[in-house]
A and B are shown apart, each in its own frame.
Chain A
Amino acid sequence: MGEFEVHRVRFFGLVPAGIRCLACQPHGARLALARTDGAVEIYNFAANYFQEKVIPGNQARSVEALCWVAGDRLFGAGLGGEITEYDLFRLCVAHSVDGGGGPIWSMAANNSGTQLAIGCEDGSVKLFQVVPGGIQFGQNLNRQKGRILCLSWHPSDTHIAAGSIDVVRVFNVSSGQTVQRIMMNYRVHKVKRECIVWSIAFLSSGTVVTSDSFGRVQFWDWERGTLQESHTVSTSAVLSLSVSEKEDSIIVGTSTGATYQFQLLPVKTGSLEKRWVRTKPFQHHTHDVRAVAHSSTALISGGLDAQLVIRPLVEKMQKKGYDAALRKFTFPHRCLVSCARKARLLLFQFSQHLELWRLGSTDKTGEDGEVLPLCRMPEHLVQLKSKGPEHICCSCVSPCGSWVAYSTASRFHLYEVQYNGDSVSVKKVPKVPKLLLPAYQLQFSADSGSLFIASAQGSVHVLQLLEPGGCKHLHTFRPLSGCPEAVYLLAASADGHWLAAVGGDWAIHIYNLKCFKHHCTVPTYNCAVTALAIHPVTNNLVIAYSDQQLFEFSIPEKQYTAWSRMVQNSGLHKVWLERDSPITHITFNPKNPSHILLHDIYMFCILDKSLPLPDDSDLLMNQTTLKQLPETARQWQLHAFKICKKFQPLLFADLLDENCLVMVERPIMDFKTQLPLPIQQKKFGT
């Protein structure tokens, strides 16, 4: 594997925001997720649940409810009282309309996709007509006191069930009248406590399913207002509930972090009598499960502990394998860290600020696995705070360390950092050219002479950086055919000759920087690109896809390399393909041109192209067994993948110089301690 001096960085204090709501695209392959800080993320089921798009949050805009309307329009509503439509191409807010009823707690779209219902703080349920390019206020339903916490349309779109405190109401949509009131009584020792209906679902059979703060999941007949079944699943609240499209399965999430599945099962073989039965319990979360979603093949839950858990329904799978594996996502599928190799600086991106750190150094050398004493501690140089409520969407530090750039949804900032001994001064570069914003990805060239800004509609701007403290817009690349989606990944070659850009349509365009021309397009592969990089020596573009495939494309020859074809012919190792987190960063070792360094959240891998590929009978993670073998036997066991799992979860890894690595870890326990305390539960044996 080779020996490296490793900077094990644990001072990146990232705390991912909790998940507030989830929405599955009806019949579709996407999942929309909103976090408590207002960020909205889109996951693509087809691309192995890759986090495809991120709409940065906004301090002033919380999201309480998300829903898909008419297939692919995404609406959100929050305590700000506004209904927002998101532009999924430009990854920003398209437009927003005030609901007019105070904070909005819930929102639901009808089945035909023509109407949106919102539940407001003042107890009103309002209907909005969905029209092309926006929404229009339709009507108010019969208003009563008590905030509307949850809403559900009957599948025939004629009625709406709304859950409030202590009561569930059913409205007739056409008349706007309340047609049924169901009281959720609960008494403990004659003291009546208020019962909060956290979540509701209206089934086509006329059954209303509610989950409440007493840990009950109840099934009501809405016409008679009678209780059909009641299941106590938890001692604390049941916060969320979601019904499958076939209405034979329900997933509920509780405030203890457990999720339960309910299934509609026949009581006896062949008999028509069916009953809801509580089946699989899962405890993947440590905190409140605020959101659940039921896709056709998986149970999805998201909690305040920022974990998104996708639990495939094994019985719906044709075969056991990659799709049937449980996945947990805690960290974003993109790099929030950039590294100035020469200056040995790290730039950490938080939602509202940036931190620039200088790495520590040591003068000792040691054995494998030994911890070296530091002669200079890592140093927190600068904290850059972004102004305004908008979150930072991307940031970058130049390799020489003297330039820092970041962008929010509406503004782009470029700073020059000057180091005078121990003191550091930051100077904002004036007169930044007005560009098409926002920027989705920033990348400095290897010589720190220019900055590439990924922008909407597939365009990439090139800025030339001038000493001292100036910049100039040089050129804007656009794909020949035109593209509505934004560019989200960039890679520049070390010699400053080539630039590769990936847009939301997953097409990789390669531009020539010397003559500002479109060079070529990599043959399309129907999967999301998770990372790409250009080799400094051979100018080969290495691409990692979300289905864990690896490709190598020779830019000068405009075709896949022989090694890449060989890989495709022989296929990658089964274990490699079954990993559940995407490769987020690729880098190279200039001393060893055949080495490719890649990493995901759980492992760091050095891919040695000169060695044979492992086949399925070989052990993929063979580093520990190799260590025990004598030198001669080791030669026979070597294969191309050299995997290290020592650093977990790994947010970033890069090569500083020939034998020095930097690894940025964020131990789960470190950030769990920064979350609010979970509900105290007595555990047996503790």
Chain B
Amino acid sequence: YLLCASGDFVKMYSVATEETLRLMGGHADLVTGIQLNPHNHVQLYSSSLDGTIKLWDFMDGIPIKTFTVGSKLLALYALARFEDSVFVVIPKRGERATFQLVSVKLTKAAGQDLEAKELSVVLDGVDASPKSIAFGREGEYVASVKEIDLQVYFFKQKQLNRFCVSAVKTKSGNNQFTCIACHPTEDCIATGHADGKIRIWRNFYHKKEYTYSTLHWHHDTVMDLAFSVEGDSLLSGGVESVLVLWHNQSEYEKDFLPRLGSPIEYISMASDGTLCCTLHTDNRITIINSNLRFARSIQGLIKSADIKTGLVVDPRTKALVLNGEPGHLQFYCLQSDQQLFSLDIVQRQYIHQAGLNQADLVKVAFSARGKWLATVEEREEVTDPELQLKLWFYDEEAQSFKLNTRINMPHEDQITDLCFRDMDELEDDSVILVTTGRDCVFKVWVIVEDTDPEAQQSVSWSCDFIGSYHNYQATNCCFSEDGSLLAVSFEETITVWDSVTWDLKCTFCHPPGKIRNICFGRLTCSKYLIGVSDDGFLCCWNLLSCALEWSAHLNILVLQPDPLSEYIAAVSWLSKESSLFVFKPNEPRPIYIQRNLCREKIQLAAFIPRDEPETVGSEKYLWLRRSQLFFLTDTQELMTLSTKSLQERLTPASKQLAVEESLPVTPFSLLLGKHRRQQSQDDIDLGKLFVRNKCEQDSPAVKELLHTPAHVLPSASFLCPIFINSLLISKENKSAEEVADEVEMESEKTKDDSDEERDVTEMEQEDTSPLELFGEMTCKLPKYQEKELRKIRKVDYSWISAF
């Protein structure tokens, strides 16, 4: 098994199948360290920023004991030599940014919740990173590095030795320490440095006659080091995404495992030495055999350097689509926390080196049904930026996107936005793509039939119309729901264009701020256009009256309409905290406000349609019924809002609504404890159990078959097809049912929607009276809508019960 700290949880993966076997939650804050109990190999200690140490039985996933220490715990170490104490790193009292290593005595008293207040300081002035402390041979000494100092403390002699490397920053880089590892059997310490060197220290019990040798292969910071179990080889990893195996600490005997995909953050060895695993900056764990062969990998949401594409939902798979590996687009399934696939867009070799300008994916858009995918890649360079617009066609047979058209330099300058015309019912060739660029124009691209018989494909894309407005830079574009109108924002002005004739219909302006984001309202509110300007105004214009309906003073960073309802989510950034506002364009009052959503800036948001609408008790959360809102913060943590109280989520808390950190995108996972039993019997047992359960649930036929005595059964040839059919058909039925229902529901809904829309437009046509009537109307509308929704809900329920 592989254990990994991830967010507030400890995850247990199976090494054999890469599955997440168990999720152990209970900490109220980040888990900072996990360690196997050296005296009981099925127990695990975990420490957290909430100041507690928990002892788990990870085979059953139950917490055994909780020790409350009191202060933040930043790292945890457990040693066989010290029976009843563990070592933790805590911030020093009264001083900022200084940390100390203390040993904590764990009381043996009975009871679940215990206090552990017996602290004794071992080392002062240590680094907060758990990689900077290591315990040597049988716990004889502890070594810690910080900046340019190495401290070694011998427990027996109670002697503290300090060494430092020269602080001079040479031309080859600085030689600050980054990580440390201790030899398991010899008195030998390996340290990694920021300039890529590894130093092997020996003889460090003498203050003066210590000595070290240097191994140098990495060209950039050594991120982590690990000794093999016998200590005859050393593993190191860094930005190069190459795992280096040094034999006998010799500079000339080394092996490499290259192309691991992304920089290595942590390295951990299995206790029996057969496996090692590396944790990468892009949120992936790679398991590697002892003969340095890649075995398998556990992949979460890839953390890429910069999410330029935004959060986009693939209409086909309902997966979240965003930048993955450099130059790739990742399709990430939220339900299973798994990467579905990764699409190579740039199709160029990526070089892991700082300071290189390499082509990267910046924009992505899907057509309404996911048939077309448009991507923009660019290479930033001052003199001549490279731009490419690529259009991908979804190939049903290959079940993947195929490149259809590539357009070099679609605009003279950076592309700021692109969108497809969302028209579900219309024919394929009416799909229109609009791109806006810094070169002050927007371009319309359409599909044309290829007349060239040589061409392998029948259709390709070409430019149809170029529009501009007073030579302002085009910043955003957006189609109305029915696709008849296109809104393009030019700095401070929003222009609305007819999508058939490409005539400028009207302009909206709200100086002095430049427009940051625009969107049309949906369903009942499709007559509204929402714009956000960077001087802190949210404006809503009525497209029929061409007048400002209402505006609010809010510094909105993210504006995200829900594709399935008329709700629009806006995230504001005010006084160092993000707040969420959900509103309908037709009423100036937000229907939902969540202040203090999180500390970080929220960069992006996306509504992901739910597979099945959730039952929502309170009216407040009505907007979450059809789809779920996900946020991506600056630190690339993906968050979602959930209506369920945390009680259902293992932790006792009485909050009505909580932000759940569903995915650990940053590598919180500090330590990868791992354990493998001799012959993973439990694995097999578990598997069996699982199979049996399934059988029992699945089909009574099988059950019958198994329970009937053999001598009463008919011949095997007769039973076989029944047996197989019983297994097959039931599943097929289920999936077919599901699909059918879904489709049905969707069509129903669209019908409803269109009805609704028509109603609304009718109403609006009636409603040409002055603004006093507006309030009345807004009162009316919700009622009407509620009815509609209720109807939908009824349908939904029936669907569920049918299933």
Contact = CB atoms under 8 A, between A and B. Distances in A.
A389 interface: no
A233 B219 contact: no
Contacts of A266: 187, 203
Contacts of B137: 268
The interface centre, meaning the residue of B208, B249, B251, B253 with most chain A CB atoms within 10 A of its CB, is: B251
A268 to B, nearest CB: 5
Interface size class of B (residues with CB under 8 A): 20 to 34
Given A232-B250, A267-B186, A268-B137, A281 B213 contact: yes
Interface string B682-695: 00000000000000
Given A263-B211, A277-B213, A279-B212, A269 B202 contact: no
Given A279-B202, A315-B208, A267 B187 contact: yes
A268 B252 contact: no
Interface of B: 137, 140, 154, 185-187, 202-203, 205-206, 208-214, 219, 248-253
Nearest to B217: A684
Interface residues of A, number: 22
Contact of B203 (A235, A263, A684): A263
Given A231-B250, A232-B250, A263-B203, A269 B140 contact: yes
Contact of A268 (B186, B208, B219): B186
A685 B211 contact: no
Most-contacted residue by chain B among A235, A279, A281 (CB, 10 A): A279
Nearest to B214: A281
A315 B210 contact: yes
A478 interface: no
A165 interface: no
Q: Is the interface of B mostly helix, strand, loop or mixed?
A: loop
20 contacts: A231-B250, A232-B250, A234-B252, A235-B252, A263-B202, A266-B187, A266-B203, A267-B185, A268-B137, A269-B187, A277-B202, A278-B213, A278-B250, A279-B202, A279-B212, A280-B212, A280-B213, A314-B208, A684-B219, A685-B219
Contacts of B206: 315
Interface of A: 215, 231-235, 261, 263, 265-269, 277-281, 314-315, 684-685
A277 B203 CA distance: 10
A278 B206 CA distance: 18
A433 B211 CA distance: 61
Contacts of A314: 208
Contact of A315 (B205, B209, B219): B209
A681 B144 CA distance: 36
A269 B253 CA distance: 27
Contacts of B202: 263, 265, 277, 279
Nearest to A271: B187
Contacts of A215: 252
Contacts of A277: 202, 211, 213
Contacts of A232: 250, 252-253
Contacts of B251: 233, 281
Contacts of A278: 213, 249-250
B187 A280 contact: no
B213 A279 contact: yes
A558 B801 CA distance: 122
Contacts of B203: 263, 265-266
A348 to B, nearest CB: 35
A233 B205 CA distance: 26
A265 B213 CA distance: 13
Contact of A280 (B205, B208, B211, B219): B211
A275 to B, nearest CB: 8
Contacts of A684: 219
A657 B82 CA distance: 81
A315 to B, nearest CB: 4
Given A263-B211, A278-B249, A279-B211, 9 more contacts: A215-B252, A231-B248, A232-B253, A233-B251, A235-B252, A268-B137, A268-B185, A277-B211, A315-B206
A346 B755 CA distance: 107
Contacts of A235: 252
A375 to B, nearest CB: 42
A269 B205 contact: yes
A260 B208 CA distance: 19
Contacts of A267: 185-187
Contacts of B209: 315
A56 B205 CA distance: 48
Nearest to B215: A281
Nearest to B186: A267
Nearest to B219: A684
Nearest to A229: B248
A19 B211 CA distance: 28
A267 B187 CA distance: 6
A280 B215 CA distance: 10
A684 B216 CA distance: 11
Contact of B252 (A233, A261, A685): A233
Nearest to A318: B208
The 9 closest A-B pairs by CB, nearest first: A279-B211, A315-B209, A315-B208, A232-B252, A279-B213, A267-B186, A265-B203, A265-B202, A269-B205
A474 B185 CA distance: 79
Contacts of A261: 211
B187 A268 contact: yes
B37 to A, nearest CB: 26
A686 to B, nearest CB: 12
Nearest to A231: B250
A621 B440 CA distance: 59
Contacts of B212: 279-280
Contacts of B211: 261, 263, 265, 277, 279-280, 315
A279 B186 CA distance: 16
A263 B209 CA distance: 11
A238 to B, nearest CB: 12
Nearest to B157: A269
B239 to A, nearest CB: 14
A473 to B, nearest CB: 59
A236 to B, nearest CB: 11
A269 B156 CA distance: 11
A685 B195 CA distance: 14
B482 to A, nearest CB: 58
A215 B252 CA distance: 10
Contacts of B252: 215, 232-235
A684 B195 CA distance: 13
Contacts of B205: 269
A279 B201 CA distance: 9
A472 to B, nearest CB: 62
Contacts of B213: 277-281
A525 to B, nearest CB: 32
A314 B249 CA distance: 24
A133 B180 CA distance: 61
B211 to A, nearest CB: 4
B352 to A, nearest CB: 14
A281 B203 CA distance: 16
B567 to A, nearest CB: 54
A263 B212 CA distance: 10
Contacts of A279: 202, 211-213
Nearest to B248: A231
Contacts of A685: 219
A374 B249 CA distance: 59
Contacts of B186: 267-268
A326 to B, nearest CB: 13
Contacts of A268: 137, 185-187
B93 to A, nearest CB: 33
A232 B248 CA distance: 10
A248 B253 CA distance: 25
**Most chain-A Cβ atoms within 10 A of its Cβ — which of B187, B203, B211, B212?**
B211
Contacts of A315: 206, 208-211
A228 to B, nearest CB: 14
A314 B210 CA distance: 10
Nearest to A258: B251
Nearest to A232: B252
